[in-house]
Amino acid sequence: MKFKSVFDIIGPVMIGPSSSHTAGAARIGRIARDLFGRQPKWARIHLYGSFAETYKGHGTDVAIIGGLLDYDTDDERIKTAFEDAARLDLYFEFIPETGHTEHPNTARIVIGDDEQEMSIVGISIGGGKVELVELNGFPLRLSGGGAAILVVHEDRSGCIASVAKCLADQHINIGHMEVSRKEKGNMALMVIEVDQTVSESVLAEIATLPNITQVTRIAE
């Protein structure tokens, strides 16, 4: 096995006790907040496998809520995330599930407010690293370790090319791209990992392209 850096071996700077159950959980929660674009008013967190069995003892619960409050893995406020959520009127509940999942450290986070609801499935793969494997029913693979944009669009010819051209015109290089759809001719999702930060103006330009429904950025 090859490692890109020492952090792949020892894990991230974090509030303990576990890189997979605490740091990874915090990152899943924070990615969910990034995708939602603002502080949610409520959250239902479904936990599977090892997450469901040990979430209280390993601090998975406070870590996910800390992530939803935009706390990073090394933020001391993770320890008081429940109290902070109460002050911000963020209602939440944890639901341990017994169903089978492909990975033992899996969380389905459903968050929302008066305007919108969103669902993600994230897994903690060890060392504080995570993958997002589902967004609102769309399958995907997103590490959350770098800059990325998610583009919801109609399943029409030319959509992918127009988004890629918009990024190329701004000298933004695509490192990885995946496209998924629920059914032919309906809604589809582009997941684009990029090498540079995508500005608000570029996001706005992509949003005006034909057949584009929603554009969301995940910062590095």
Neighbouring C-beta atoms of residue 204, cutoff 10 Å = 10
Residue 37 · residue 54 · CB < 8 Å = no
Domain range for residue 188? 148-218
Q: How far is CA 143 from the centre of its chain?
A: 8
Residues 55 and 98 in one domain: yes
Residues 95 and 178 in one domain: no
Does residue 1 form part of some domain? no
* Residue of 133, 145, 178 whose CA lies nearest to 160: 178
Does residue 2 form part of some domain? no
The predicted-structure confidence for 126-170, as pLDDT tens digits, reads as follows 777 888 899 988 888 876 667 889 999 999 999 999 999 999 999
What CATH number corresponds to the domain at position 71?
3.30.1330.90
| Res 93: pLDDT | 97
| Res 110: pLDDT | 98
| Res 214: pLDDT | 87
How many Å apart are CA 74 and CA 99, to the nearest integer?
A: 31
**pTM of the shown model:** 0.77
* Residue of 130, 129, 127 whose CA lies nearest to 109: 130
Domain end point (choices 142, 157, 186)? 142
User: Which residue ranges of the chain lie beneath pLDDT 50?
Assistant: 1-14, 16-17
